[in-house]
A and B are shown apart, each in its own frame.
Chain A
Amino acid sequence: MSFPWAKPYEPTHPLMKWMDEKLPIPRLVYNATGPGYPVPRNLNYFWNFGVLAGAALMIQIITGIVLAMHYAANASVAFNSVEHIMRDVNAGWFIRYAHMNGASMFFIVVYLHIFRGLYYGSYKAPREMVWLLGVVIFLLMMATAFMGYVLPWGQMSFWGAQVITGFFSAIPIVGEPVREWLLGGFVPDNATLNRFFSLHYLLPFVILGVIILHIWALHIPGSSNPTGIEVKDEQDTVPFHPYYTAKDGFGVGIFLLIFVALTFFSPNTLGHADNYIPANSLSTPAHIVPEWYFLPFYAILKAFTFNFLWIDAKLWGVIAMFASIALLFFLPWLDSSPIKSSNYRPLYRIFFWILVVDVLLLGWCGMQPAEQPWVILSQLGAIYYFAHFLVILPIVSRIERPLPMPNSITEAVLAKHATDTSSASATA
């Protein structure tokens, strides 16, 4: 794959030679994440998040498999089986809290990974396929997380399932039958819980498969980098191992420290008190809210309050919410600027940071009850969200005048060091 100067795999030990002839897995690893994969030398810490997302997925799979050994997916005992894990299973409280907060950590690193891609134009040619597969992974993660949240069968599990499957009933004519088909009944019940458990166990392995494709597609052009200039020759790159295995190792350390602090010292902060009440179809919680990672999309859903063009407000909200994610599939073609990195895009950079603030604002609004000023703020936030991707970005990429760019990665690195040393000597 990648570059002509990539270090070839040359096994010396007879066992490795034998293995290489029969099943060249060591060769694959060597070329994918070893010294055989040349990577730009100038990656910053934002390039750690792909590996961190992989680590988060592995933590979720391992803790999840152990939880499934003790959990019972039956509406009459599911809630108590989770409490059995918390109280009676050896270290069960740790496994369960790690899985619960692991989901949040997975979304935190994936959101940072996505915004890294948005800032540095990682979705642009020749890496469109990497981006498209990434959006697929994001969608699969959302489905998996939603179904996982239903499994403890608390009040928020039940009512979350009720609200989210209710989106489908907004579709004219077929909506209600589709919803009943998805739930296996008229309301979430045992059939729903069982199929969600089955799919919640399946989807992480589908995600793993798409991640393999995501990395495969990445390794064809090779990794992007903060300048957005493609690799030109050998001095622009370093071998993945040991340079980036070391840097990623440090990143994993920081990630685990935050993860551990959350899991052991404040495990319920990101959850809802209502989910410690067993599911009750006769008692609606005062305030139904999804998990924090869905809040920006939930705010977009709720922002549509007006029946416009024969489509009622609820259906507008549902269409807009799905569109807010689906538009990411078109991003490589919405942004026509050949410049990847926002470091050289003075105008786009401003809108990028407005988008960051906008998504945070939408997340905050998603948490609030349907009262003013939250309704109008989520409406303004949703306007900017769609305007950013569908109106501003295509226009900006046409009219923007990029800043002067270095000729190569190495030139950029050396220029940076020259200014660093001169400013250091000036202060000394």
Chain B
Amino acid sequence: MVRPLGFLVGLGFITALVLAIFTTPLSNEANVAHEFHKHPRHLKLASDGIVLPHWDKAQLQRGMQVYKEVCSACHSLHLVAFRDIADLGYTEGQIKTFAKGFQVPSVNPDTGEPATRDGLPSDYFPSPYANEVAARAANNNALPPDLSLITKAREGGKDYVYSLLTGFQNPPKNLPAELKPGTGLHYNPYFANLNLAMAPPLAPNQVTYADGTKATVDQMSKDVTAFLVWTAEPKLIKRIQVGYAVFFFLLIFTVLTYLSYRNIWADKKH
């Protein structure tokens, strides 16, 4: 009974699929934006790969400076606390001073009215806008995303972020009219639909690096991307280091289990 019924069911599915093949057009609709879209450029960082990766603390500090002086005007970083920047090589005193430079939302202890106070190391980077409505109102109805996880939350990761920051340019001459940037939009071939609400955020020498590094757009983009790789996964380097220890421990374990397996089976043909 099972076989004849199964045969009929099978024929039903196969017929539906054969009809589907003959009724589905074999050519795709042309996607014009596709040919102007560019693949992200590779960015090499000290934290890359599994061969002795490390945080380039000087670069992360420069990157945080770019975030603070440029990006933080519109983008929040709400998963990162001031205490976390100890990873970047700051001392406890420096972190306290750094946190004090921010005003965080609070409550007046006498009246209960909303107020602000100086930041503490346990506070998180404050958001530039009170809420989403305020953020959209100030940005031509576009919402600047939180940057904490941005290098993990985009296809292409850090390469994409770096390419986007350095990818603003004039639209090519042969760009079809419907793809031309409208009012308040900016052409960037690394962005999914080519036109981005964010204006080019970086200009040469926009920040002054304390360590004397020349603040080119490319340099600032690299630095802030490196910083955002750290914010997305502060445990990245620790993860690789622990991974080596666990892997080699298990390698020894596996060799021992293999030897005992060979030993136990030595007298048994199988």
Contacts and interface: CB of A to CB of B under 8 A. Distances in A.
Contact of A257 (B9, B11, B84, B254): B254
Contact of B7 (A257, A263, A274, A390): A390
A417 interface: yes
Q: Chain B, interface size: which category?
A: 35 or more
Contacts of B52: none
A193 interface: no
Interface string A251-289: 011101100110111011000011011000000001000
A87 interface: yes
Contact of A382 (B12, B17, B244, B270): B17
B246 interface: yes
A379 B27 contact: no
Contact of B10 (A93, A265, A308, A391): A391
B234 to A, nearest CB: 6
A250 interface: yes
A341 to B, nearest CB: 16
Given A243-B268, A330-B6, A387-B14, A257 B250 contact: yes
Contacts of A413: 269-270
Contact of B269 (A306, A309, A417): A417
A117 B251 CA distance: 29
B243 A260 contact: yes
B254 A94 contact: no
Interface in A336-376: 336, 371-373, 375-376
A27 interface: no
A247 B17 contact: no
Contacts of B149: 83, 276-277
Interface stretch (B56-64, B200-208, B256-264): B256-264
Interface stretch (B68-76, B100-108, B153-161, B175-183): B153-161
A198 interface: no
Given A94-B242, A306-B20, A394-B6, A383 B14 contact: yes
B9 A308 contact: no
A98 to B, nearest CB: 10
Contact of B20 (A313, A334, A417): A313
Contact of B50 (A42, A265, A320): A265
Contact of A389 (B6, B79, B269): B6
Contacts of B79: 80, 83, 87
Chain A's interface: helix, strand, loop or mixed, by majority? helix
A76 interface: no
A371 to B, nearest CB: 5
Contacts of A382: 13, 17
A365 to B, nearest CB: 13
Given A87-B79, A247-B261, A264-B243, A286 B192 contact: yes
A257 B251 contact: yes
A273 B238 CA distance: 22
Contacts of B265: 243, 246-247
B26 to A, nearest CB: 6
A246 B264 contact: yes
A316 interface: yes
A390 B10 contact: yes
Interface of A: 41-43, 80, 83, 86-87, 93-94, 97, 238, 242-243, 246-247, 249-250, 252-254, 256-257, 260-261, 263-265, 267-268, 273-274, 276-277, 286, 303-306, 308-309, 313, 316, 320, 323, 327, 330, 333-334, 336, 371-373, 375-376, 379-380, 382-383, 386-387, 389-391, 394, 413-414, 417
B173 interface: no
Chain B's interface: helix, strand, loop or mixed, by majority? helix
B253 to A, nearest CB: 6
Given A256-B250, A273-B155, A264 B240 contact: yes
Given A276-B149, A305-B23, A414-B269, A253 B239 contact: no
Q: Which 7 A-B pairs have the closest CB atoms?
A: A264-B243, A390-B10, A253-B254, A276-B153, A306-B20, A333-B2, A249-B257
Interface in B26-57: 26-28, 50
B152 interface: yes
B260 A249 contact: yes
6 contacts: A243-B265, A249-B261, A264-B247, A308-B15, A330-B6, A334-B2
B26 A391 contact: no
B246 to A, nearest CB: 5
B19 interface: yes
B243 to A, nearest CB: 3
A250 B261 CA distance: 7
A276 to B, nearest CB: 4
B118 interface: no
Contact of B24 (A42, A305, A391): A305
Contact of B28 (A277, A305, A371): A371
A243 B14 contact: no
B136 to A, nearest CB: 12
A327 B23 CA distance: 27
Contacts of A394: 3, 6-7
Contacts of A257: 247, 250-251, 254
A30 B62 CA distance: 64
B243 A265 contact: yes
A263 B246 CA distance: 11
B92 interface: no
Given A333-B3, A391-B7, A273 B242 contact: no
B254 A254 contact: yes
B20 A273 contact: no
A125 to B, nearest CB: 14
Contacts of A323: 9, 13
